[in-house]
Amino acid sequence: MQMLDKIKMQRKESDERPPELPISWVEISNSISRQYQFQPDGKLSVKMVDDSRPAAQRVMESFLNKFFPSGYPYSVNEGYMRYTQFRALQHFTSAALSVLSTQSLLFAAGLRPTPAQATAVSWILRDGMQHVGKLICSNLGARMDSEPKPDVLYDFGTGLEVMSPLCPHLFLEVAGLGNFAKGMAVVAARATRLPIYSSFAKEGNLSDLFAKGEAISTLFNVLGLGTGIHLASTICSSMQGKLVVAPLLSVIHVYSVCEEMRAAPVNTLNPQRTAMIVADFVKTGKISSPADLRYREDLLFPGRLIEDAGKVKVGRSLHEVVRPSKLQQFKEAFPEEKFLLNHGSRWTDMILEHNATGEDALRGWLVAAYASDMERLVPEPSANILQEAYDKMNSTFSPFLAELQAKGWHTDRFLDGTGNRFAF
């Protein structure tokens, strides 16, 4: 009985103990007081107690949280802000142009639409032609990986639509061609977003970058539609107004696309970037980073030959470069390599094996560049100049590759677009 009484007394004392209060504390940072508290189930809750920041600062930080990736600016690579600014301007002008062009199309068809009707129909036409553009552009994916630079197809299509009232008897032809071009441009732009966003991702935050980038695009699309409706109701209600405003918006749109593409530090190897890297290394001994090269890339003529890089052409068909009688000779020149080089007087052709990587392309490019450099320095170069250049490449390639990767370049792939490769 005494034992039972002791157990009952212990239970009674435990029941009379006051409940444990949750652990809480207050932290003050940047004029914001937050209360942190551990709940009985172990979860941490956060509650804002006081915010003495100015209203403008609160609005700005709220905007950054909604439209910029977490941890900005430390979570993205340099150049993201400039890219975002011009991307917003691009979407703003394209949305305004879409309202004006659709209104022009309906005028050409004999209708007199209100700005709101033009806005609604613009969405229908764009979405419909997008399916056609996907079918046509599906085989251009490799080229867009190699050169993720959207072109001026959108402005070409918009220009046709704006001009359509001048030739109403050709309405179907002009409307079809204009919307087809715009559909292809939309698909091309969407296909190139991933490699561009990947170049800005710094902490494995690609999904966050993509979500916030699309949020900014949507915001400025809506603002552009509103501006387009206003222009269609006022300045651009006549054909003369459209012929003044539409070209101006198109110029701003193309300029924005060029600037946003230049701001993107794409870190994959394609023919143009590889040639520029090799040229800088042969000429100065230094290796450029993706950020160093972005403003030097040629957006209009990416296939131009660079003299300091050996004037290399990559991707031509094997039968166009090598005669069948000399094929064995070319194979034996560099038997351990995954490339063939044909050093000519005007340029050097390089053909890659089907499984060649970015490192293989770099090795071949360096051989061509060294051979070209030797020809300029020596009045009468030897017959085996390629072999001498190959030996020089082997002596410098290891430190060259290590520094290249340290600069942030991805050397596991070489994006030669639709270029030809060989397999024996």
- Condensed to tens digits (0 to 9), the pLDDT of residues 170-201 reads 766 777 777 777 777 776 677 677 778 888 88
Type of residue numbered 170: L
pLDDT, average across residues 254-276: 88
Q: For the ranges 40-49, 288-297, 365-374, 382-391, which has the lowest average pLDDT?
A: 40-49
Residues in a beta bridge with 26: 35
Taking residue 53's Cβ as centre, other Cβ atoms within 10 Å add up to 13
Q: Note the pLDDT of residue 325.
A: 79
Tell whether omega for the bond before 324 is within 30 degrees of 0, i.e. cis. Answer: no
pLDDT band at residue 161 using 50, 70 and 90 as cut-offs: confident
Q: Note the pLDDT of residue 362.
A: 95
Q: Is residue 396 predicted with pLDDT exceeding 90?
A: yes
How far apart, in whole angstroms, are the C-alpha atoms of residue 408 and residue 164? 48
Q: Note the pLDDT of residue 126.
A: 47
Q: How far is CA 224 from the centre of its chain?
A: 22
Residue 20: what are its φ and ψ, rounded to 5°?
Answer: -70, 130
Q: Please provide the average confidence, as pLDDT, over all residues in the chain.
A: 79
Please report the DSSP string for 110-146 in residue order. T----HHHHHHHHHHHHHHHHHHHHHHHGGGHHHHHH
Q: Note the pLDDT of residue 115.
A: 66
Q: Is residue 42 predicted with pLDDT exceeding 50?
A: yes
Q: Note the pLDDT of residue 51.
A: 66
Q: Is residue 148 predicted with pLDDT exceeding 60?
A: no
Q: Which residue has the higher pLDDT, 242 or 151?
A: 242
With contact defined as beta carbons under 8 Å apart, do 140 and 411 qualify? no
Q: Note the pLDDT of residue 31.
A: 64
Q: Is residue 134 predicted with pLDDT exceeding 60?
A: no
Give me the count of residues in the chain: 424
Q: Note the pLDDT of residue 401.
A: 95
Q: Which residue has the higher pLDDT, 36 or 124?
A: 36
Q: Note the pLDDT of residue 174.
A: 76
Q: Angle 109-115-119 (CA atoms, 0-180°, nearest 5)?
A: 85
Q: Which residue has the higher pLDDT, 1 or 118?
A: 118
Q: Which of 352, 348, 345 is nearest to 311 (CA)?
A: 348
Q: Quote the pTM value.
A: 0.70
pLDDT digits (tens, 9 = 90+) for 52-75: 667 777 777 777 778 888 878 788
pLDDT digits (tens, 9 = 90+) for 219-256: 998 899 999 989 988 888 888 888 899 889 988 988 88
Please report the DSSP string for 294-306 in residue order. TTT--SS-TT---
pLDDT, average across residues 392-418: 90
Taking residue 68's Cβ as centre, other Cβ atoms within 10 Å add up to 21
Q: At what angle do helices 358-377 and 271-284 cross, to 10 degrees?
A: 50
Q: Note the pLDDT of residue 177.
A: 78
pLDDT band at residue 167 using 50, 70 and 90 as cut-offs: confident
pLDDT, average across residues 101-128: 63
Q: At what angle do helices 206-233 and 55-67 cross, to 10 degrees?
A: 110
How far apart, in whole angstroms, are the C-alpha atoms of residue 202 and residue 315? 32
pLDDT band at residue 141 using 50, 70 and 90 as cut-offs: very low
pLDDT > 70: percent of the chain: 77
Task: Quote the radius of gyration of the chain (alpha carbons, Å).
Answer: 31
pLDDT digits (tens, 9 = 90+) for 318-335: 888 888 878 888 888 888
Q: For the ranges 5-14, 89-98, 172-181, 248-257, which has the lowest average pLDDT?
A: 5-14
pLDDT band at residue 19 using 50, 70 and 90 as cut-offs: low
